[in-house]
Structure 1
Amino acid sequence: MSSTAQDVDRFEASRPRLEAIAYRMLGSAGEAEDAVQETFLRWHAADIDRIEVPEAWLTKVLTNLCLNQLTSARARRETYVGQWLPEPLLAGDPMLGPADTAEQRESVSYAVLTLMERLSPGERAVYVLRTAFDYPHREIAEILGISEAASQQLLHRAKEHVADDRARVEIDETAARRIVEEFLAAATSGRTESLVRLLTEDSTAIGDGGGKVPARARAYEGAVAVAKFLRGLFKPGKAKHAILGGTAEVYASTANGDPAVVAVVDGRVFGVMCLEVTAEGIAAARSQVNPDKLERTTAHWAASDHGEPLIHAF
């Protein structure tokens, strides 16, 4: 059946929420947009007059599309070149979804999105719907076709998988800029000692180039190893200049609520390094340089006021 203009408007009013759910489920903005568009096509073809609660119907259709996507994604990621990391989103992107509570903000942090790769599709769905969007277990059970007890058990297991012993620190924009400035000053100093002081003893560094941009697939582990890697990463060189295709302007920003180093070349975001900050220091530096995962970030960057670069590098 064809939908009316009112039906389309009703769907569009739900689109931001649906995109935010899909992004947290899939860790990819592009895949989230595709899942929401497929949900719209099914909405357009449905007998809408017979749908009692449109929001619940849309959420159920979208969630099941994401579950199917996650199942097939596991097979695709087995052949993915290098380390797979989520797609970062810069501050202000509506796809980040609700951020009213500390739990909601943490659930979309880059660290937690990365840890969520450990979850089964069902665990991930329950974790997202309950933690980030406050759906009661009764509704989650209806969406997934399981019992309330099963939903509660899935949430318990999901929380165990994404938990770690690090005490994360909530960062506002001012603090994020200060952290990035201090980080860049240490990384470009040519000395590892200043970087080591900023890092936790068990810190890690890893990147995702998707086989399109050079990135180390295995993580550097330990403060000294990470500091040496970062010192080399920010050291200028002809090879890096060739890979970038120019000189990078490096900015301080936030991505998924974390302090972020954003490298921009000729208006295009070349890379985003998300810094996981704990009470003990920087626990991880995760870099996304796969161009396929930076298209939305580049569009968002072009439309925002990002100030002046902190440094020109490489």
Structure 2
Amino acid sequence: MIELGNYNTLTIKRSTRVGLFLGDDDVDDLLLPNKYVPDDFEIGQELRVFCYLDHEERPIATTLEPLVTRNTFGYLEVAEVNQFGAFLNWGLEKHLLVPFREQPERMEKGKSYVVYCFLDPKSFRLVASARINRFLDNEEFSLSIGQPVSILPYRTTDLGTEVIVEQRHKGLVFSDQIYRNLEIGQPARGYIKAIRKDNKLDVVLEPLGHEKLEPTAERIFRELEASGGMLPLHDKSDPGEISKRLKMSKKLFKKGIGVLYKERRIDIRDDGIYLR
């Protein structure tokens, strides 16, 4: 069975003047247009292609790679807005529709949004939605405290930045835990800090516990070397100054310089820290 909106491995059934016709045990007439046909092929050969609907709503195959696939989230730019909704550039010839009902706020041409791609059960067309929370599930987890996870930031709130965890769950990085750039729509690496009783996920950007002390100390040490052996920072420095210079919290900074001091690699003075 060919699955629209995903990659399928299909067999070349026949070659015609308009392209190759591909299929599997159930279908044998899915067109791969000439512009996507490989230079060398044989009848009976298998090809991995992406399947979607063309401008005439007919199933079609392509070797182009879309920026988002069915049942996944992505960050896409609006190419056009008309009476039907917003149309996103997802790397294919036909743009991906976001109907007005799937827009919490009206999308604008040229702007990018985090969206979810799915098959509309009524029209059987691939569409996208910016109503992100509707497609996130925090009922069941296969996650553990400290586990590294992929995150996709999608909204900023008073508490912090809401993120999509492992393309499935909703998480939050609190504002006071953000010590490096965390841009909407840009994938990043995070770590599970807490799984609350209400199944809310707290996410941080650095490993938990003792694991983060050594890399933190190394980062401070490298910055000291790059700065000529001195940094005008110490345990009484303003947290904002530390975050601006080192992209880390004051708590992490104090732990890091503690490690370096115990290893006799730095001196801590009134005006900053120095390499020994």
Short-chain TM bin: under 0.3
- Bigger relative contact order, structure 1 or 2, given CA contacts below 8 A and separation 6+? 1
Question: What TM-score do you get using the length of structure 2 for normalisation?
Answer: 0.26
Which is greater in Rg?
2
Task: Answer 1 or 2: which has greater helix percent.
Answer: 1
